[in-house]
Chains A and B, each alone.
Chain A
Amino acid sequence: MPILELKNVSKIYGSLRALSDINLSVNAGDWLSIMGPSGSGKTTMINIIGCMDTPSTGSVILDGVDISKENAANLTRIRRDKIGLIFQQFHLISYLTAVENVMIAQYYHSMPDEAEAMEALEKVGLRERAHHLPAQLSGGEQQRVCIARALINSPQILLGDEPTGNLDEENEGIVVDIFRRLHDEGVTIIIVTHDPEVGDVAQRKIILEHGKVIQDIDQSATFGEALKLKSKG
């Protein structure tokens, strides 16, 4: 049963076709990586999947609901309920501590609960750093806070835009290991990445070029091995 379906999705900015007639189906619990050169449409695609943009044509079915025609307010609500976002630049709020940065996602979703937020930080190995400000955390730690924040509301899809793009190799391994554990728990993961190693650890990889899917690779066979090599777990 697909959790996400893109049917003939195109996104046009003036004379530029950022996405052209994309068809994609992602099952619940899948781990998909989206790769491609700059300007291939990766960010546009993730913005549409993440309910931060709408397609010019085509439909996007998320958890059985067509979100392609929803207005901004409904998209915000859907994003809040169903999507967990991870950013390349982490985007933590500078004046809130790690645990407060996690709680803010709870606050906008439903009710803030510090104990739950602490558990989420424990999952990413940051319980001891919960009361530190972002400026007091390393890049890898900041990204792990970002992941804890993305997971706190139990989203149906974890969406990462270059989640390891600003990390060194060691932290990249830690983050990939967290994704592995989440995948084992049944979380659907979609990640945009430039890094072939990170792209290779997913079950499935699609490659975009000029707004089109030019390759859709099933990596199930090599999935476990690649993960072992990449993750520190």
Chain B
Amino acid sequence: MGNNSRKKMYLRMITSSLIRRASRLIIAVLAIAIGATILSGLVTIYYDIPEQLGREFRSYGANLIILPSGDFGITRADIDKLKNLIGREKIVGLAPYRYQTVKINEQPYLLAGTDLHEAKQNSPFWYIEGDWQNVMIGREIAETLDLNIGDTFTVKGVKYGEQAEASKQNLSAEENKTRDFGSQNFSKKLQVKGIVTTGGAEEGFIFSDMALLNEMIADENFKADVLECSIVANAEELNELTNKISEHIPNLSPKAVRRLTQSQDIVLGKLQALVLLVTIVVLIITMISVYTTMTAMVAERRKEIALKKALGAENKFVIGELLGEGILLGFIGGAAGVFLGFEFALRVSLNVFGRGINFQWALIPITIIIFIAITVIASILPVRHVMDIHPAIVLKGE
């Protein structure tokens, strides 16, 4: 009963002090709230960066290449197993490629049959003149053959399972040409819908839908020579994944594109270090601000402190009251900062990465506890001055 009335009086004193002196404490609350906003915002971003930036890095191309370990290619069943193993939510793009040598004007070129949608997911940085549609040709081919969007060209090749025969020396060119058009060969007129510019080997390829390629080579079976995957994962996770794939799908041979994953990890590491550094600086600035405010508060309230001591308050009582006010300030500022911080992180994420973030509920208690601790630590030195206040000197009459 007695202790309860003391506790009630204590709470009444510190809340009255904060509520009725709000205008004087607004700066301290603002400092704490801004600090808490930046802290909770940056912590949210800190934990969201790998996910956000991981997806951004996926636009720099596939980070996992999968080849068949045997002679037979990769089947649909393999791809389904692979998708389940990786986790569909982590796959940004998974493009199968089947390569076929074809001839255009008797010159050999490589035709890549793929899933054009997935290829686009993997390689959004490709510059496409025209559309991502059947059929696209590389810039190099377009220049060599003087092809533009809408032009047609004919590709010729050998059907699946057949062997191309060498031209016979004793036949004329015309006879050889006629011979090539036998049942083991194909010829298809295609229209250019897109011209691919990548600055890489892709500029020497013809890209078509896998179904079209299969139709041309007369093979109904799905068979990929290589899978290019873009996975949201860091280098370590990717290594774990390659081991897992090798273990669970032995006919696939996965290889992580180390250059890309390592760059991703380096950039991520540096960004996270930067965020951490800014967070520490913000915490220090908040602490300095609270320290200054509390120092001013103790100086401004010398008479009140002296009076309390004159009324019989021991130093520990007065210090406890001031720290109580500090804790309440830390609580209010920290709580406000959590929600403002989420808003801040959300806006940063939307503007920089173009997608939202999830609210981290654990941040509520963590931020509040951190800012209560900061306020208490920053208050300790100013509050210790209470011990130097002598009521007889401060309260002396005029």
Which residues in A have some Cβ–Cβ distance to B below 8 Å?
A: 43, 47, 50, 52-53, 73, 76-77, 79-81, 85, 87-89, 91, 93-96, 100, 103-113, 133, 149, 161-162, 165
- B313:A96 contact, CB within 8 angstroms: no
Partner of A95, one of B20, B308, B311, B395: B20
- B13:A104 contact, CB within 8 angstroms: yes
Chain B contact residues: helix, strand, loop or mixed: helix
Determine the chain B residues whose CB is within 8 A of the CB of A88 once the complex forms: 397-398
B8-27 interface with A by 8 A CB criterion: 8-10, 12-13, 16-17, 19-21
Determine the chain B residues whose CB is within 8 A of the CB of A109 once the complex forms: 312
Minimal Cβ-Cβ distance residue in A for B312: A80
- B21:A103 contact, CB within 8 angstroms: no
- A79:B5 contact, CB within 8 angstroms: no
Partner of B392, one of A53, A80, A95: A53
- A100:B12 contact, CB within 8 angstroms: yes
Query: In the complex where A87-B395, A91-B395 touch, is A96 in contact with B312 (Cβ < 8 A)?
Result: no
- A161:B397 contact, CB within 8 angstroms: yes
Which residues in B have some Cβ–Cβ distance to A below 8 Å?
A: 2, 5-6, 8-10, 12-13, 16-17, 19-21, 303-304, 307-314, 317, 390-392, 395-398
- B308:A104 contact, CB within 8 angstroms: yes
Partner of A76, one of B13, B16, B314: B314
Of all A-B residue pairs in the complex, the 7 with the closest CB atoms, nearest first, are A80-B312, A95-B20, A52-B392, A112-B9, A88-B397, A47-B392, A108-B312
Minimal Cβ-Cβ distance residue in A for B307: A91
Determine the chain B residues whose CB is within 8 A of the CB of A110 once the complex forms: 2
A50 to B309, CA, bound (A): 12
Determine the chain B residues whose CB is within 8 A of the CB of A106 once the complex forms: 9
Determine the chain B residues whose CB is within 8 A of the CB of A162 once the complex forms: 397
B386 CB to nearest chain A CB (Å): 13
B47 CB to nearest chain A CB (Å): 41
Determine the chain A residues whose CB is within 8 A of the CB of B304 once the complex forms: 93-94
Minimal Cβ-Cβ distance residue in A for B304: A93
Interface centre among B13, B304, B307, B313 (most CB of A within 10 A): B307
Determine the chain B residues whose CB is within 8 A of the CB of A47 once the complex forms: 392
Taking A104-B311, A161-B397 as known contacts, 4 extra A-B pairs with beta carbons closer than 8 A to each other, sorted by chain A number, are A43-B397, A52-B391, A52-B392, A108-B313
B322 CB to nearest chain A CB (Å): 13
A96 to B11, CA, bound (A): 12
B297 CB to nearest chain A CB (Å): 12
B207 CB to nearest chain A CB (Å): 76
- A108:B317 contact, CB within 8 angstroms: yes
A89 to B21, CA, bound (A): 21
Query: In the complex where A103-B9, A112-B6 touch, is A85 in contact with B20 (Cβ < 8 A)?
Result: no
A94 to B301, CA, bound (A): 10
Partner of A96, one of B6, B13, B303, B396: B13
Determine the chain B residues whose CB is within 8 A of the CB of A80 once the complex forms: 311-312
A150 CB to nearest chain B CB (Å): 9
Query: In the complex where A89-B398, A133-B20 touch, is A113 in contact with B5 (Cβ < 8 A)?
Result: yes
Determine the chain B residues whose CB is within 8 A of the CB of A53 once the complex forms: 392
Determine the chain A residues whose CB is within 8 A of the CB of B16 once the complex forms: 95-96, 100
Minimal Cβ-Cβ distance residue in B for A79: B312
Minimal Cβ-Cβ distance residue in A for B2: A111
A162 to B398, CA, bound (A): 9
A94 to B303, CA, bound (A): 11
- A108:B311 contact, CB within 8 angstroms: yes
Query: In the complex where A76-B312, A104-B308 touch, is A89 in contact with B391 (Cβ < 8 A)?
Result: no
A-B contact pairs, 8 of them (CB 8 A): A52-B310, A52-B392, A80-B311, A88-B397, A105-B311, A106-B9, A107-B9, A108-B313
A95 to B12, CA, bound (A): 10
Determine the chain A residues whose CB is within 8 A of the CB of B397 once the complex forms: 43, 87-89, 161-162, 165
B38 CB to nearest chain A CB (Å): 31
Determine the chain A residues whose CB is within 8 A of the CB of B12 once the complex forms: 100
A58 CB to nearest chain B CB (Å): 18
Determine the chain A residues whose CB is within 8 A of the CB of B390 once the complex forms: 52
Determine the chain A residues whose CB is within 8 A of the CB of B308 once the complex forms: 93, 104, 108
- A93:B307 contact, CB within 8 angstroms: yes
Partner of A91, one of B8, B20, B303: B303
Interface centre among B303, B312, B391 (most CB of A within 10 A): B312
A1 to B342, CA, bound (A): 72
Determine the chain B residues whose CB is within 8 A of the CB of A107 once the complex forms: 6, 9-10, 13
Determine the chain A residues whose CB is within 8 A of the CB of B313 once the complex forms: 76, 108
Minimal Cβ-Cβ distance residue in A for B10: A107
A49 CB to nearest chain B CB (Å): 11
A13 CB to nearest chain B CB (Å): 12
A47 to B5, CA, bound (A): 31
Determine the chain B residues whose CB is within 8 A of the CB of A52 once the complex forms: 310, 390-392
Query: In the complex where A53-B392, A76-B314, A95-B20 touch, is A112 in contact with B5 (Cβ < 8 A)?
Result: yes
A85 to B310, CA, bound (A): 8
A91 to B19, CA, bound (A): 20
B25 CB to nearest chain A CB (Å): 11
A188 to B17, CA, bound (A): 34
A29 CB to nearest chain B CB (Å): 23
Determine the chain A residues whose CB is within 8 A of the CB of B317 once the complex forms: 108
A162 to B314, CA, bound (A): 25
A70 to B270, CA, bound (A): 62
Minimal Cβ-Cβ distance residue in B for A133: B20
Query: In the complex where A76-B314, A80-B312, A87-B395 touch, is A111 in contact with B5 (Cβ < 8 A)?
Result: yes
A111 to B3, CA, bound (A): 8
Query: In the complex where A52-B392, A93-B304, A93-B307 touch, is A77 in contact with B6 (Cβ < 8 A)?
Result: no
A98 CB to nearest chain B CB (Å): 13
A103 to B9, CA, bound (A): 8
A73 to B392, CA, bound (A): 14
